[in-house]
Structure 1
Amino acid sequence: MEWIKSLRLSIDYMEKHLLESVGPEEVADAVFMSPFYFQKGFKIITGYSIGEYIRYRRLYMAALDVISGDEKIIDLAYKYGYDTPESFTKAFSRFHGVSPKQMKGDTKKIKIFLPLKISVSVRGGNDMDYVVEKLDAMKVIGYEKNFLYETGYQEIPKFWNEFCHNCTDGKNNEQVQKVIEECMIGEFGICIEDDSKQKEFLYMIAGRYNGGSVPEGMKIFEIPAFEWAKFKCTGPMPGALQSVNTQIFKEWLPGNPDYEIAAGMNIEMYSNGDCSSYDYESEIWIPVKKKQQHK
């Protein structure tokens, strides 16, 4: 249950530092977790990104201050981390549906957003369709791009659409298209924690690198040797993949007595075929290591 305990501790940390300049990387560090998996798991379990949670909590607290009428708008803006009264008022109005001035006259308009209580039902985690397999280091080749944790999972599909359109619309030159086909670029979607950019992670559309020239715009990355928990997904994309991802974080990680995450990385493996078909097969690979058994 270390995973769930860490999430609960993270909420306590955010509450204690709500008026300070804290972001996802500081919160993850405070609970000794990988920012990559911490933010991904937090979003899956709570439905909010770290940034959204902190922002919504601040705007709720700001509304309580507005109702009390003790502070000016400019003071509230700076207190809750906004650069100007205008940006604060805009965010406040978007969240509560009324401006700070309007709320003073109608306190029923306040949108309540209390601290989250993490509660996960641990069931069936070890009955998921997965295997643990040790793989040697593997080189991949493909296109990479950095994404913000806050918006990455909305932006990545656009990255894939651009890649697919270039392949199908004849925009790639002969050399590029040859490498894409020979290395099966598009077989993998790889998320990689970027230690140098704590607010971002690296994403690759990739395939196995078999040697040879590397076309301009492509990159090579070596995936270290790990044991991988490989989860099978069956069904149309992206629903099947998202469903299994949710199970991993809500059931498998909290309830698994043997394994824990080994590195800030995960791989999505895509097969050939119609990805909208009910029997389309894909996989999620997560690097894992055996938990230390405490005597």
Structure 2
Amino acid sequence: MEWIGALKVAIKYMEKHLLENINADEVADSVYMSPFYLQKGFKIMTGYSIGEYIRCRRLYMAALDVLADKEKIIELAYKYGYDTPESFTKAFSRFQGVSPKQIKGDAKKIRTFLPLKINVSIKGGNDMDYVVEKMNKMKVIGYERDFSYEAAYQEIPKFWSEFCDSCTNGKDSEDKQKAIEECSIGEFGICIEDDDKQNGFHYMIAGKYNGINVPEGMKLYEIPTLEWAKFKCTGPMPGALQSVNTQIFKEWLPGNPDYEIAAGMNIEWYSKGNSNSFDYESEIWIPVKKK
């Protein structure tokens, strides 16, 4: 399904099932798309994760119900997916800025959150610096950590800082340091869809595996044979990479006549050198297939 069309259908699905116990996997199934890329793209395009969007819509609808004063708080709590009136009131107050009691009789206090409408202006997506190449399967080794879609942009740079600090200050064991050096761990940052996690994904700081013993605390992963669209980034990290990532979803994917996403993963490639430099080079690799 075309990217913008998929987002619109996903929003319609969420609106139709707003009061049901739906999750990101079900939303992704409705548009025949990888949950990883739907959530990643939805966050970039709208500023909200799928979970945040559903929560905000429910709490806005709940505010309208509070204003109508036809149902008790305990009934509204269960209606909008909360286990207790207390948890509902806490979430309601955090979102609206006032308690349900304070909002009764005063519509001006309601924070409006209407269904999103996706409109995209294509601005040079075809001019992005990229190539499409086939890569045979590749084994990688490195450190892995789980991240939520909501916090990934803030937390992944911290993961890298911890890794760099550990390498620089010699905090790793001898076998880990050997693996880091021989396998160039840090050359790749790899996002991998997790079938068991609805709101998160695996992220690896990795390098090409050369057959050495895998130190405790490190993991192996095999990337399958795929075609990859490789986008060049120039500038200091993480801003340059995040900027191109946003450009991919807002400019390259919408209306792309040739390619669509092929798998639930992506790879960040990092060159050697000063990552804070204005001319630092990196790349984002997206698995694609011909339409």
- TM-score category by the smaller chain? over 0.9
After alignment, is 52-61 or 141-150 more displaced? Answer: 141-150
d(CA) in 1 for partners of 2:134 and 2:86? 55
Q: Which residue of structure 1 lines up, in the alignment, with residue 114 of structure 2?
A: 114
Q: Which amino acid aligns with 1:219?
A: K
Cα distance between partner residues in 1 of 2:283 and 2:122: 22
Paired with 2:126 and 2:272, the residues of 1 have a C-alpha distance of: 28
Give the structure 1 partner of residue 64 of structure 2. 64
The aligned counterpart of 1:275 is 275
Counterpart secondary structure, 1:254: coil
Between the aligned partners of 1:197 and 1:66, the Cα distance in structure 2 is 33
1:84 to 2:77 alignment: no
Verify: 1:23 aligned to 2:17, yes or no. Answer: no
Residue type at the aligned position of 2:256: N
Structure 1's unaligned 5+ residue stretches are none
Q: Is the 8 A contact 1:126 1:255 kept in 2?
A: no
* Regions of 4+ moved over 6 Å: none
Measure, in 1, the Cα distance between the counterparts of 2:245 and 2:255: 15
What SS is found at the alignment partner of 2:104?
A: helix
- Distance in 2, matches of 1:232 and 1:155, equals 23
1:35 corresponds to 2:27 = no
TM-score by length of 2: 0.96
The answer for unaligned runs of 5 or more in structure 2 is none
Q: Hey, what's the Cα distance between the residues in 2 that align with 1:105 and 1:165?
A: 55
1:106-185 paired onto structure 2 within 5 Å = 106-185=106-185
1:149 CA displacement: 3.2
Aligned 8 A contact 2:2 2:255 in 1: no
Q: How big is the alpha-carbon RMSD for the aligned residues of Structure 1 and Structure 2?
A: 1.4
CA positional deviation for 1:105: 4.2
Alignment TM-score, normalising by the size of structure 1: 0.95
- CA distance in 1: counterparts of 2:286 and 2:253, whole angstroms: 11
Paired residues in the alignment total 291
How far apart, in 1, do the equivalents of 2:127 and 2:264 lie? 24
1:202-213 matches, within 5 Å, as 202-213=202-213
Q: Read off the aligned partner of 1:100 and give its amino acid letter.
A: P
Deviation at 1:133, TM superposition (A): 1.1
Q: Specify the code of the residue in structure 2 equivalent to 1:218.
A: M
2:257 is matched with which residue?
Answer: 257
Within a 5 Å distance, the mapping from 1:234-253 to structure 2 comes to 234-253=234-253
Do 1:125 and 1:255's aligned partners in 2 also have CA atoms closer than 8 Å?
Answer: no
Q: Which residue identity is paired with 2:201?
A: F
Q: Name the counterpart of 1:14.
A: 14
Alignment of 1:48-63 (within 5 A): 48-63=48-63
> Offset at 1:151?
3.4
Contact 2:18 2:58 in 1 (8 A): yes
1:182 CA displacement: 1.4
Work out the percentage of aligned pairs sharing the same amino acid: 78
Residue aligning to 1:73: 73
Task: Work out the CA distance in 1 between the residues paired with 2:140 and 2:52.
Answer: 34
- Which letter does structure 1 place at the counterpart of 2:82? Y
